[in-house]
Every structure is written in C-alpha cells, then in structure tokens.
Amino acid sequence: MKKSVAEERGLKKIYEGKAKILYEYPGDEGKLITYFKDDATAFNGQKRGIIMNKGEYNNAISASLFKLLKNNGIESHFIDKLSDREMLTNHLKMLPVEFVVRNTAAGSLAKKMGVEEGVKLPYPVVELYFKSDELGDPMINETYIRAFDLGEVKDVEEAKNIALKINEILRDFFDKNGLLLVDYKLEFGTLSGKVLLADEITPDTMRLWDKVTLEKVDKDRFRRDLGGIEEAYKRVYDITSKI
Ligand code: ADP
Ligand code: UDP
C-alpha cells in the first residue's frame, strides 16, 4: 500500500476501515485526515481485492462531489483535498446508519419487489441500514433509532431529508454527463448539533450505469468480476474533475 503523507509524518491512526484510514489532525481534535485505500471488499467483506489507483480516484471524486453539493447549498464534513489520497474533514459524531437512496430498481430491491432490474422508480426510495459488520448491516427504520438508542430521531429525519435534496443534485449532474444514478449510500454525522453529510461519494458507494448502453460504471464490476474496473473509476473521475 502506498504510504500516506499522514503516516510519513507519524500522525496517529484513529481508525482503519475497509476502504479508508482516519488519522488525527495535529493540534485540532475537531478535524480528521482521511486516507483512501485501493482495497476493495464486497459481500460484507467475503470478497476482497485491490483496485489499482482506486484511492486516488475516490479521493478526487468525493472532493469534487462534496464541492458540487456545497455549491448547491448542502454542507458536508469536507474541508480540503490534502494530497492525491488524502482529504481534510471535520471530525463528526457519526450516526450509525447507512442511508441508501434508490432511483432505479437494482439488486435486492428489484428482487424484493418483483420488478425487473432497470425499472425507473417514479419517486426515490430511501432505506436505512444499521451500520454493523457483525450483524451484516440489517435494515432498520426510524422507530429502531429510538428503541435501540442509535441516535436522535430528529437527526435521522433531517439526514433523510438532506439525502433527498442530494439526490436531485447528483441525479441531474450524472444525467448531464451520460450516467444514470441508480442507487447509492450516504452517511451523516453531527457537529455542534448540526447534521452534516460525511464519509465518501464514489463508485464504491454508488451504482452508475451508462445512460445508453446501461453498462455498469461502478464497483459492481468488481463485485461481479466484469473487468474494466479501473476504466470505470477513471470515467467517473474524468466527469467529476470538471466540477
Ligand atoms: P468501514 O468502517 O465501513 O469499513 P471505511 O473504510 O470507509 O468504512 O471507514 C471510514 C469510517 O469513517 C466509516 O466507519 C465512517 O462511518 C467514518 N467516517 C466518515 N466520515 C467521518 C467523519 N467526518 N467523522 C468521523 N467518522 C467518519
Ligand atoms: N452500498 C454501500 N455500502 C454498503 C451497502 C450499500 O456503498 O455497505 C451502496 C451500494 O454501492 C449500492 C447501494 O448502496 O449503490 C445499494 O446497495 P445494496 O448492498 O443494498 O445492494 P442491493 O441490495 O441493491 O443489492
């Protein structure tokens, strides 16, 4: 793995996840350095691999999309891009929830509702999952938040509303650039009581299809061994680098 600038400077690792490493930011506990790895996992960590240069693409793609959202009135944890694989963010109190937004039926939704993959939904669907690798991220709803003390219900409701606003901005952006935003995952946290978008927005966390050919331009190429993985990430990088 390419050494991070944070590691070279001897900064303390706070957390290492499947795709990213969080480092302390010297002299300011309110900030974090996020390092994007090339490591790829799927099916709750059962499939593992490396996608060459993914860290660089995902850092740049996330930074650009956070900027696009900011220009459209959505605040996030993003402060600045520090290096090819690192960004500076605010350190948030994370909601232990993954918000999945869906515009087109794919994967488990198509199966569950008995529709063909690719059917466009007239209204977006938002699903909540409890972030827990041990439990395999079970689906939950707002009543679980209160019953299992997972956070403030009002924060989750606010995050859900922000997710729907984000959806309009991202869907339009990708549509104008030849891609269909099928579905994606967002994470949110709070800073001084304010709900902010966090984590990443990348081909690791989105399903993007070519509008004409319906070819997959995201991590499904890795999940399903379709090849052309790096090219897919590069295509999203090229599109977002114009922001
Ligand atoms: P995972 O934990 O699922 O393996 P990652 O490798 O992407 O995922 O690790 C990044 C971790 O950092 C995630 O657990 C995510 O919830 C957390 N995170 C993202 N943004 C922030 C932030 N601004 N402040 C604190 N934690 C964050
Ligand atoms: N997703 C993600 N991380 C997760 C779970 C889902 O980034 O831990 C994203 C995934 O990339 C896809 C969407 O959320 O864009 C829906 O994924 P899910 O695993 O729910 O797939 P499905 O149920 O549709 O097969």
Q: What is the CATH number of the domain that holds 53?
A: 3.30.200.20
Confirm whether 240 is domain-assigned. no
92 lines ligand 1 (CB under 6 A): yes
Q: How remote is the CA of residue 183 from the centroid of ligand 2, in Å?
A: 8
183 lines ligand 2 (CB under 6 A): yes
Which of 26, 56, 90 is the C-terminal boundary of a domain? 90
For range 166-181, the mean pLDDT: 98
Phi and psi (nearest 5°) for 40?
A: -125, 135
Per-residue pLDDT tens digits for 110-164: 999 999 999 999 999 999 999 999 999 999 999 999 999 999 999 999 999 999 9
Confirm whether 242 is domain-assigned. no
Which of 49, 69, 90 is the C-terminal boundary of a domain? 90
Statement to judge: residues 57 and 150 lie in one domain: no
108 lines ligand 2 (CB under 6 A): yes
Q: Quick one: pLDDT at residue 79?
A: 98
Q: Quick one: pLDDT at residue 2?
A: 56
| Cα–Cα distance, 186 to 201 (Å, whole number) | 7
Statement to judge: residues 175 and 187 lie in one domain: yes
Given a cut of 70, whether residue 100 has pLDDT beyond it is yes
Confirm whether 235 is domain-assigned. no
Confirm whether 17 is domain-assigned. yes
Please, what's the b/e burial string for 202-237 (b: 16 or more CB within 10 A of its CB; e: otherwise)? bbbbbbbbeeeeeebbbbbbbbeeeeebeebbebbb
Statement to judge: residues 176 and 138 lie in one domain: yes
Statement to judge: residues 75 and 118 lie in one domain: no
Confirm whether 139 is domain-assigned. yes
Q: How remote is the CA of residue 144 from the centroid of ligand 1, in Å?
A: 21
Q: Quick one: pLDDT at residue 119?
A: 98
The CA-based dihedral angle spanning residues 114, 118, 119, 121, taken in that order and rounded to the nearest 10 degrees: 110
For range 45-52, the mean pLDDT: 96
Q: Which domain holds residue 10?
A: 5-90
Q: Burial, 71: exposed, middle or buried (Cβ in 10 Å; 0-12, 13-18, 19+)?
A: exposed
Which of 72, 90, 108 is the C-terminal boundary of a domain? 90
Statement to judge: residues 107 and 86 lie in one domain: no
Given a cut of 60, whether residue 1 has pLDDT beyond it is no
Q: Which residues, at least 6 apart from 120, have a Cβ–Cβ distance to it below 8 Å?
A: 103, 104, 105
- The percentage of the chain sitting over the pLDDT mark of 70, rounded to a whole number, equals 99
For range 205-224, the mean pLDDT: 98
Three-state DSSP at 209 gives strand
Other CB atoms within 10 Å distance of the CB of residue 83: 14
Closest CA to 106 of 230, 233, 220, 212: 220
Q: Locate 205 and state its tokens.
A: 């966390």
Given a cut of 90, whether residue 53 has pLDDT beyond it is yes
Statement to judge: residues 57 and 72 lie in one domain: yes
Statement to judge: residues 210 and 118 lie in one domain: yes
Break the chain down into helix, strand, coil percent, rounded to 5: 30, 35, 35
Other CB atoms within 10 Å distance of the CB of residue 93: 12
Confirm whether 165 is domain-assigned. yes
Phi and psi (nearest 5°) for 163?
A: -60, -40
The protein residue with its alpha carbon nearest to ligand 2, atom 5, reads: 185
Q: Quick one: pLDDT at residue 8?
A: 84
184 lines ligand 2 (CB under 6 A): yes
Confirm whether 214 is domain-assigned. yes
Q: Quick one: pLDDT at residue 12?
A: 95
CATH of the domain at 130: 3.30.470.20
Confirm whether 19 is domain-assigned. yes
Given a cut of 70, whether residue 226 has pLDDT beyond it is yes
pLDDT band at 7 (very low <50, low <70, confident <90, very high): confident
Statement to judge: residues 127 and 191 lie in one domain: yes
Statement to judge: residues 86 and 99 lie in one domain: no
Query: If you average pLDDT over every residue of the chain, what do you get?
Result: 97
200 lines ligand 2 (CB under 6 A): no
* Sign of the alpha-carbon torsion through 212, 98, 76, 20: negative
Statement to judge: residues 205 and 121 lie in one domain: yes
For range 159-184, the mean pLDDT: 98
Q: How remote is the CA of residue 200 from the centroid of ligand 1, in Å?
A: 8
Q: Quick one: pLDDT at residue 51?
A: 98
Statement to judge: residues 200 and 172 lie in one domain: yes
Statement to judge: residues 120 and 212 lie in one domain: yes
Reading phi first (left if > 0) and then psi (alpha if -120 to 50, else beta), residue 177 is in alpha
Domain count, the chain: 2
